[in-house]
Amino acid sequence: MKVKDLMTRNPIVLTVNNTLNDAIKICISNGVDSVLVVDEYGKIINIITTVDMMKAFINKVSLKTSVDKVYPKRVITINEDANIKDVLDASVGRLPVVNSEGELVGILTRTDLSKELVQKAVRESEEMKAILYSTNNGVIIINQEGVITRCNPSAVRILNLGNENILGLKIEKILPELKLHETIETGKKSYTGKIQFKDKELICDRIPLFNDEQVVAGLIVFKDSSDLKRIIDELNAVQQLSKKLDAIIESSYDGIYITDGEANTMKINKAYERITGVKREEMLGVNMTKLERSGYISESSTLRVLKTRKTTTIHQKFKTGKNALVTSVPIFDEHGKISMVVTNVRDVTELANLKEELGKNKELAEKYYCEIEEIVIFRKW
């Protein structure tokens, strides 16, 4: 953040035409302890403080004295584009802000800084609270004295604390099994450690928090190992199901071609290669629009499905010269959006061969029928 983002613009100023009496009135009426003096070009030439006014009263300085003549001094300023961090250690209560031309554009006070620091602390506190409350891992924070300052809902659930309020209590007395007090004492980190807590095994990370090389707090993040085991079991089950599904797709006699909702090729089985004569390595990861334009296929039924949102069947020709009958089916997610398109590919050539063979068998049957009829008629004679 820059100084100009925090400063007060259009501060009250005096010019060389104003007097000490004007300065006193302005300070009293506005409740300020100093007032700036600028020249005709808006550049700072003096600052009159309440201390200056008291000295002038003691030394019997005329109230009609021009403000630029009242204890003139060099005024410390800061550029409006400076970082706010540059003024945090400033010893003055009111810091004039100037632009690149040296003209007064605002003033930065301790009140402005204090307000920003408080607001920043509140924002960071709210962010920390949101993080703690959203994670499934248990989180407990203690201060340098070992007193619990933070405990998120997941920690209460995992440790079965119920309605017990542990904030403000010594962790060594109520939750000694966590050994977080030892982290404060040693200042050493500990990752993926295992702790036996009642009937549970916890996997935890213990981390000391430092300020100027001194431990000021301790943090422990933990989870129930049974939760982790359940996740691993679920993951294994999903992997086994995925393998079975892959085996089913791969063993299908018909070709299967799967894309995502953007028509990018995700999966092709070996039957597709046999039917089309196209290697799957040439098509995996490639968008159907590009494959269509490159001549791999005459027309994409997948692109039709994405346009119409309906099951589509077309006759498709491939760059190898082979033909197939393809049927593409949209798969919708829970929001009604097409997440995948599954295409079934059947070799038209094989169907044509079967039709031709059936025709030949029919002709042969008719021939035999005619011959049998002739034999029957001959015998009648």
| DSSP structure string for 312-368 | EEEEEEBTTS-EEEEEEEEEE-TTS-EEEEEEEEEEHHHHHHHHHHHHHHHHHHHHH
Tell whether the model's pLDDT for residue 352 goes beyond 70.
Answer: no
- CATH for 252-351, among 3.40.50.10890, 3.30.420.40, 2.40.50.140, 3.30.450.20? 3.30.450.20
Q: Is the dihedral angle over the CA atoms 184, 186, 189, 191 positive or is it negative?
A: negative
Helix axes 20-30, 50-58, angle to 10 degrees: 130
pLDDT band at 7 (very low <50, low <70, confident <90, very high): confident
Give the model confidence (pLDDT) of 227-247 as tens digits. 777 778 888 888 898 889 889
Looking at the chain, the domain(s) classified CATH 3.30.450.20 span 135-225, 252-351
66 forms beta bridges with 19
Residues 124, 127, 131: CA angle, nearest 5 degrees: 140
Residue 217, beta-bridge partner list: 143, 209
Rounded distance between C-alpha atoms, residue 276 and residue 283, angstroms: 12
**pLDDT surpassing 70 at residue 207:** yes
Provide the pLDDT confidence category of residue 348 given band limits of 50, 70 and 90.
Answer: confident
Encode pLDDT of 34-88 as tens digits: 888 988 888 888 888 888 889 888 888 899 999 888 888 888 888 888 887 777 6
Instruction: Indicate the DSSP class of residue 212.
Output: T
pTM for this structure? Answer: 0.45
Which residues have C-beta within 8 Å of that of residue 112, sequence separation ≥ 6?
A: 6, 7, 8
- The CATH code for residues 3-115 is 3.10.580.10
Percent of residues, the chain, with pLDDT higher than 90: 36
DSSP lists the bridge partners of residue 148 as: 142
Across the chain, where does the E strand assignment appear?
8-9, 13-14, 34-38, 44-49, 78-79, 94-98, 104-109, 138-143, 148-151, 190-197, 200-211, 214-224, 255-260, 265-268, 312-317, 323-332, 338-347
Measured between alpha carbons, how far is 307 from 103 in angstroms, rounded to an integer?
63
- Residues 185, 341: Cα–Cα separation, whole Å: 60
Mean pLDDT of 190-209: 89
For residue 113, the model assigns a pLDDT of 72
Which range is least confidently modeled, 152-156, 163-167, 293-297?
163-167
Put the strands of the sheet holding 200-211 in their side by side order.
Answer: 148-151, 138-143, 214-224, 200-211, 190-197
pLDDT of res. 218: 93
Where in the sequence of the chain do the CATH 3.10.580.10 domains occur? 3-115
Residue type for 205, please? D
Closest by Cα among 83, 17, 20 to 54: 20
Residue 296: partners with Cβ closer than 8 Å, 6 or more residues away? 278, 282, 283, 318, 319
Helices (H), 63-197: 110-134, 153-158, 171-174, 180-186
**What does the alpha-carbon distance between residue 88 and residue 62 come to, in Å, rounded to a whole number?**
37
Locate 307 and state its tokens: 């346009």
Q: What are phi and psi of 33, to 5 degrees?
A: -105, 5
In terms of DSSP bridges, do strands 190-197 and 200-211 run parallel, antiparallel, or are they unpaired? antiparallel
Domain 135-225 bears CATH identifier 3.30.450.20:
yes
